[in-house]
Amino acid sequence: MPVLHFPDQGTRRPAEVVIDTRRLTMRNAADWQQQIVAECRRQRTLTPAVFRFLKDSGLLSRCTFLASEGPADPLRFCYIGAPTVAVLGRAWARSVLDQPVDRDPHTEFARRVGAEYVEAMAGGEALVNRFSVAGLGRPFDYVQALFGWSDGGRRAVLACIDVQTVH
C-alpha cells in the first residue's frame, strides 16, 4: 500500500472560451478612438503619417497593428499595444509578435477577432465592436475600433483597444 494516496481527480479540462461580440456605432467609441479613425479616413491609405499621428498624439500604445507583405502572406502581429498585453499577457505578446495570426495560441478568440479584421480590411471603413471574453484567464470587456486597408494584395489593420473592465 502506498504511503500517499491521491484520489483520482481526472484530467483538468481547459476553460471553455466564451466570446460575446456586439457591433456598435462610432458614437460608442471613446473620443481617442474616434480621433484615430478620423485620421485614418483623412489619410485614406496606410502611410507613415498615420504612425506619426499616433506617436505625436500619444495614442500608439493603445493600438495593435497587423499587416501582410503580399496576397499569399498572412497577417502578422507587427505591434502589440499595452491594453492587449494587459489582458492577454506579456508571454502571449512575446510569442506572437512578428508571427502570423494563425499561430495565436488562443485559437477561438483569434478566429473570432480575425473575422472582424477581415471585414474591416474588405470594407475599407471603420468598425466598432464590444467584446466580452471569458475563459482566457480573467474575464474582460473591451471596445475595439478597427480600421483596415487592402492595396495590391497587401493588407493591414489597426485595432484601437479600450479595455472597459477586467473581472
Range in 9-23, 40-54, 81-95, 120-134 with the lowest mean pLDDT:
9-23
d(CA 40, CA 147): 7
What pLDDT is attached to residue 1?
A: 46
User: The C-alpha cell of 11 is what?
Assistant: 484530467
CATH fold label, 18-166 = Beta-Lactamase (3.30.450)
Instruction: Write the pLDDT tens digit of every residue in 141-158.
Output: 999 999 999 988 899 999
Containing H/E element for 82? helix 82-88
Q: How confident is the model at residue 5 (pLDDT cuts 50, 70, 90)?
A: very low
DSSP 8-state secondary structure symbol assigned to residue 62: G
Instruction: Write the pLDDT tens digit of every residue in 33-71.
Output: 999 999 999 998 888 999 999 999 999 999 999 999 998
Instruction: Please give the distance of CA 50 from its chain centroid, rounded to a whole number.
Output: 18
Where do the structural domains in the chain lie, given as residue ranges?
18-166
Instruction: Write the pLDDT tens digit of every residue in 94-127.
Output: 999 999 999 999 999 999 999 999 999 998 889 9
